[in-house]
Structure 1
Amino acid sequence: MNLDRRTVLAGLGVLGAAAPLTAAARERTVRVRLVTERGTIILALYPDRAPITVANFLAYADKGLMKGGSFYRTVSPKNDNNPATISVIQGGLGAGGERLPPIPLETTRRTGLRHTDGVISMARDTPGSATSEFFICLGDSPALDFGGARNKDGQGFAAFGKVVEGMDVVRSIHDAATEAQADDPYMKGQMIEKPVRILELSRN
């Protein structure tokens, strides 16, 4: 599986108010504001658990690089083309924009985080290829954790934060209309007809 738009993203990928925080979230967190055309999502990032991944995401925020990006993909059991089904929305810079260098993969085995409801994680192709693309989980998706069945390499994805406000916005994007076709057949039925623009990513 592949959650990176540049490889044409093969393989991806609560309650209106704040989602409950895990034990990890009670540790030191950094909050960021992700403003979209459909509303604002507030994220708590875990720098003590996933320092490399959080630093990368904050660099996109601090440099203003995510402005002009979008949420462009929505995956659910009804349109998933992988037997290890998930529910996520995927966003980032897509085919355009300035990307920072790829970062090492901080697996969930290393960080102790899991792909639970509201968790944000990095999209990737091969391990160590993540740059600007990310996804947010709707519901628990253990297939995305280390050892999960979503990717053949079994390394999973790098969870690094959680939605604390704005899951209603996440659900709205998840329900967006999709195109019937896609450049990559794996993503058939998953590409959002009118991608939801990211207006701002900044520290909250």
Structure 2
Amino acid sequence: MSLSTATTPKVTIETPLGPIIVELYPQQAPLTVANFLQYCQQGLFANSSFFRIVNEHNAQQAEDANASIQVIQGGLAPGDKRLLPPIAHESTEQTGLLHEDGVISMARFEPGTADGSFFFCIGEQPALNFAGKRYADGLGFAAFGRIISGRQVLEAIYHLAEDEEYLKDEISIISIYQI
């Protein structure tokens, strides 16, 4: 998925472990990228965190092994007072962006409920694509960019996984800003 162009927006996610730089794909996922950038521009991600790490050891056992995932979730947790209204769902079928290693995507419950929580894929995650098995609706999640620098920071965060998905000691997101 080499989509980088001179006009591709990029953001830096500042953490105590170092920066993560992500390029976003507004041509493929315009609603999702606009939503993410709005959170950045309004400073709403400042003092948020990476609060959930799902891996093969701590994930709730899915009835279907094809529904298992490995992700790092961050941003604003459900119920945070800073959350903006949710956006329409842009599926991978619409965008052509798949949940490959290093892809950033929006977390959601039902379709059309994505707001200020996002996640990074660790390895390929086909269960999160359109027709994937993660949710019974089969609509998948809205991928909208990929990490281009700071992979070692993402790996360091991933290796802090605990026995439970939700971290007792969340990893601070100092800020996320467009570069």
Give the shorter-chain TM-score range. Answer: over 0.9
What CA distance in whole angstroms lies between the structure 2 residues aligned with 1:35 and 1:55? Answer: 20
Q: Gaps (5+ residues) in structure 2?
A: none
- RMSD across aligned C-alpha pairs, in angstroms? 1.3
Counterpart in the other structure of 2:74: 91
Deviations 1:46-77 (A, max 9, x none): 00000000000000000000001100100111
Counterpart in the other structure of 2:20: 41
Matched, 1:134 2:118: yes
Aligned-pair CA distance for 1:97: 4.0
User: Quick one: which of 174, 191, 195 aligns to 2:170?
Assistant: 195
What CA distance in whole angstroms lies between the structure 2 residues aligned with 1:27 and 1:49? Answer: 15
SS at match of 2:4: helix
SS at match of 1:61: helix
Partner AA of 2:55 in structure 1: S
User: Quick one: which of 101, 109, 124 aligns to 1:125?
Assistant: 109
The 5 A counterparts of 1:92-111 are: 92-94=75-77, 95-111=79-95
The count of aligned residue pairs is 174
Partner AA of 1:86 in structure 2: I
TM-score by length of 2: 0.93
TM-score by length of 1: 0.82
What CA distance in whole angstroms lies between the structure 1 residues aligned with 2:128 and 2:5? Answer: 23
What CA distance in whole angstroms lies between the structure 1 residues aligned with 2:110 and 2:157? Answer: 27
What CA distance in whole angstroms lies between the structure 1 residues aligned with 2:161 and 2:58? Answer: 12
Counterpart in the other structure of 1:30: 9
SS at match of 1:25: coil
Identity %: 44
Task: Classify 1:156/1:45 alpha carbon distance in 2 versus 1 (closer, same or farther; 3 Å).
Answer: same
The 5 A counterparts of 1:1-204 are: 22-26=1-5, 28-81=7-60, 82=62, 83=65, 84-94=67-77, 95-178=79-162, 180=163, 189-204=164-179
